[in-house]
Copies of this chain bind each other. A is one copy, B any other.
Amino acid sequence: MTSVAKLTDHTGYWMRMVSNAVSQEFSRKVSCEDVTVAEWSFMRSLYDLEPTPPSILAERMTMTKGAISKLAERLMAKGLVAKAQSREDRRAHNLSLTTKGRAKIPVLASLADQNDADFFGVLTKEEHETLDHILRVLTERRDLKATPVD
């Protein structure tokens, strides 16, 4: 075949299609809790790490420091996250969830569970396991911490 490949000939195309759909639907779900997908991700990461500086969070979420800074600001405005000055280092800050923020975590987590079930529930158990396995393989082989240049 000398002909030019179609968009749909590439696995990456379908990947993006599905990934976008999953995120879009999840976005719709969490919007009821007045939260975005990025905000959920931020809060869930923080839940494991708090209190933690923005820099660590940026690394974990593979976003730039700038993005984290703005994301944190939005979450503080919503009263879900709090920022405290570090004592040892006067440049540094520590982020934590507020009580209100922490209370949201189980609710959002359950929406995430549901979203995954909604989407991947159509697969057989075996298919689902295979998919997870493949995604792991791809992530590991590529060393996907992803690549925020910052």
Contact = CB atoms under 8 A, between A and B. Distances in A.
A-side binding surface: helix, strand, loop or mixed?
helix
Interface stretch (A3-11, A67-75, A79-87, A88-96): A3-11
A112 B20 CA distance: 19
Contacts of A131: 11, 131, 134
A13 to B, nearest CB: 8
Nearest to A130: B130
How large, as a class, is the contact surface on chain A?
35 or more
Given A7-B44, A10-B112, A132-B14, A19 B21 contact: no
A123 B135 contact: no
A59 to B, nearest CB: 14
A50 interface: no
Interface string A1-43: 0001111011110111111111110100000000000000100
25 contacts: A4-B44, A4-B47, A4-B106, A5-B109, A5-B112, A7-B44, A10-B115, A12-B19, A12-B112, A12-B120, A14-B132, A15-B18, A15-B22, A17-B135, A17-B139, A18-B19, A18-B135, A19-B19, A20-B146, A21-B144, A24-B146, A24-B147, A122-B138, A122-B141, A127-B134
Interface of A: 4-7, 9-12, 14-24, 26, 41, 44-45, 47-48, 105-106, 109-110, 112-113, 115-116, 119-120, 122-123, 127-128, 130-132, 134-139, 141-142, 144, 146-147
